[in-house]
Amino acid sequence: MTDILKNKVALITGGASGIGRATAILFAQEGAAVNIADINSRQGQAVVDEIRAQGGRACFSLCDVTNAEDCELAVDATLEQFGRLDILFNNAGIIRRADVVETTEAEWDKVLAVNLKSVFLMSKYAVPVMAKAGGGAIINTGSGWGLKGGAQAASYCAAKGAVVNLTRAMAIDHGAQKIRVNCICPGDVDTPMLRHEASQLGQAEAEFLAEAAQRPLRRFGQPHEIAQAVLYLASEAASYVTGAALVVDGGGLA
């Protein structure tokens, strides 16, 4: 590895699995200390143990990203453990595959809370810390469906579309504080959430995954491939990039 993030400190929500886990491991390999914030303490601690076994620095924060107090405590814990906060990766997310008629009000509220409100809450507490230190980088997980519509995913499309535009608004608001704010827009990626979509839709998993692979590169993505895009946006290689929505989807939107 090249120590791209040497001496940097990152806070990653949804870091216990999928894209968050892959990014946490990659960031640690590139020299960053990482706080993994998640509601799954067993899996989150396992990622911490894996990073430490490789000689990296990591800690875990039990965090409901829809709860303001939990978000503030996660930022505080990052400072207590590592003394600073340079990178925030707002990655926690869930999906409900249903149209507006079939989506319950509770499901709507939950999807928007986890996917969108969490970005607001974590950023609310992270931005002042970054500004005081002279800058930082925030990366939000959007989606291809944040840039175009998708079938039977009304609440998810609404939340991810909002994440993309919130990213732009934050980039405008905090550029003068040397805080860059960008989002990644993945296509289908081989994560537990992707496989759970098949059961929500009542489809056989193999059939669902075959459909997910129908894009120019003829496959769905892997978590480490999205992590590489997050690493770019977090690094000095993207020093003049803010307010961007980086599509990483094997050509699906194309």
Distances in Å between the Cα of 141 and the Cα atoms of 66, 116, 177, 183 are 15, 10, 22, 6
Q: Is residue 146 part of a domain?
A: yes
The pair of three-digit structure tokens given for residue 40, joined into one six-digit string: 């799954």
Return the pLDDT at 202. Answer: 82
In a domain, residue 253? The reply is no
Confidence of residue 236 (pLDDT cuts 50, 70, 90): very high
| Given the residues 125, 156, 232, 240, the one annotated as active site | 156
CB atoms within 10 A of CB 221: 24
Instruction: Tell me, letter by letter, the H, E, C secondary structure of the chain.
Output: CCCCCCCCEEEEECCCCHHHHHHHHHHHHCCCEEEEEECCHHHHHHHHHHHHHCCCEEEEEECCCCCHHHHHHHHHHHHHHHCCCCEEEECCCCCCCCCCCCCCHHHHHHHHHHHHHHHHHHHHHHHHHHHHHCCEEEEEECCHHHCCCCCCCHHHHHHHHHHHHHHHHHHHHHHHHCEEEEEEEECCECCHHHHHHHHHHCCCHHHHHHHHCCCCCCCCECHHHHHHHHHHHHCHHHCCCCCCEEEECCCCCC
CB 20 within 8 A of CB 13: yes
Confidence of residue 204 (pLDDT cuts 50, 70, 90): confident
pTM above 0.75, yes or no: yes
Q: What is the largest CA-CA distance in the chain?
A: 51
**Residue 170 included in any domain:** yes
pLDDT in tens, 144-199: 999 999 999 999 999 999 999 999 999 999 999 999 999 999 999 988 888 788 78
Q: Which residue range(s) make up the domain with 228?
A: 9-242
User: How confident is the prediction for the chain on average, in pLDDT?
Assistant: 96
Cα dihedral 26, 16, 61, 138 sign: positive
Domain membership flag for residue 254 = no
CATH number, residue 106: 3.40.50.720
The residues that bridge with 62 in the sheet, in sequence order, are 38
Residues whose CB is less than 8 angstroms from the CB of residue 233 and which lie 6 or more positions away in sequence, other chains included: 137, 139, 180, 182, 184, 241, 244, 246
Separation CA 135–CA 174 (nearest Å): 9
pLDDT band at 201 (very low <50, low <70, confident <90, very high): confident
Is 156 among the catalytic positions? yes
Mean pLDDT of 206-210: 82
Instruction: Indicate whether 211 belongs to any domain.
Output: yes
Q: Of 31, 22, 23, nearest to 55 (Cα)? A: 31
Q: How many domains does the chain have?
A: 1
In a domain, 201, yes or no: yes
pLDDT of residue 208: 78
The answer to whether position 54 is within a domain reads: yes
